[in-house]
Amino acid sequence: MRLKEVEVSITEHCSLACEHCGFMVPDQPRPSVGEPAEELAASLSHLHRLGFAVGSLAILGGEATLAKGALLETLRVASAAPNVQRVELVTNGLTPGGLPQEALPYVDRLSLSDYTDDDRLASAWKLWLSVQASHVEFKHRRHDSWDRWHDDVDLGAAGAQAAFDSCWYRRHCITLERGHLFMCSRIPKLGLDGQGQTLDASTTRDALLRYLHQPNALPACRTCTPVAGLERVDPGVQPDARLFRLRGRALSWFERHGAQE
């Protein structure tokens, strides 16, 4: 069995404070109970025991480069896992110094979620990677609009089921957090661990398959704002000028490290 895409967050902290971001859910719990790398190693080991491979494992936050030590160890674990085919780091790119040089051999793809207003940050990352780690695939992502993630909605039972049946997140955002596997990334951000599947020595393959292929909507689907048809919002909107300050610092870092044209 192959899980096409799986996400794991190593920190709930971020350098940005984007309006309506899924990682800005009030009172969001930590994504791991103990050390993120140890928890990921255990979860991947259980998936391997159950015969599950991971096509692409995305490591993110919050902002993963704010947890420099945890990022290095998590990348090592992910790269060494026999059932992980590709390791991806997702970053806003604003703290390049938080990606240790020694971590680069463990990264197959770096995806830049760029909220700045030009391509200078992306160009700096692309040039730096071409020199430091030419094997790393670089993906530059911009978004025209975002789903809302924490407005109050109640879709009702029928609406929840319709949302569940057509949910993009359920197909693309399988998530590992706190020793559980979740069918989308919103559920763990709300701390609803009981609506995930525990991954431990007692977990069976049949139990995991039943969870992944269950036909009925979860209770969390009733309040799922991304599929509620609400008006979308502009991405990356900040309460202050931090985005521009952080971009300036990042570009200065790349200039000092020979990655400015």
Question: What pLDDT, on a 0 to 100 scale, did the predictor assign at position 259?
Answer: 61
Q: What is the DSSP letter of 146?
A: B
Beta strands 2-9 and 174-177: pairing type? parallel
Residue 242, in any domain of the structure: yes
Residue 36, in any domain of the structure: yes
Structural domain range at position 13: 2-256
> pLDDT (tens digit, 0 to 9) for every residue of the chain, 261 residues total?
999 999 999 999 999 999 888 777 777 889 999 999 999 999 999 999 999 999 999 999 999 999 999 999 999 999 999 999 999 999 999 999 999 999 999 999 999 999 999 999 999 999 999 999 999 999 999 988 988 887 889 999 999 999 999 998 888 999 999 999 999 999 999 899 999 999 999 999 999 999 999 999 999 999 998 888 889 999 999 999 999 999 999 999 999 997 655
Domain count, the chain: 1
Alpha-carbon dihedral sign for residues 41, 47, 50, 53: negative
Residue 261, in any domain of the structure: no
Residue 134, in any domain of the structure: yes
Task: Write out the DSSP string of 19-85.
Answer: TT-GGG-TTPPPS-SS-HHHHHHHHHHHHHHTT-EEEEEEEESS-GGGSHHHHHHHHHHHHH-TTB-
**Tell me, what CATH number does 51's domain have?**
3.20.20
- Cβ partners under 8 Å of residue 51, min gap 6: 1, 205
Residue 167, in any domain of the structure: yes
Helix (H, G, I), strand (E, B) or coil at 111: strand
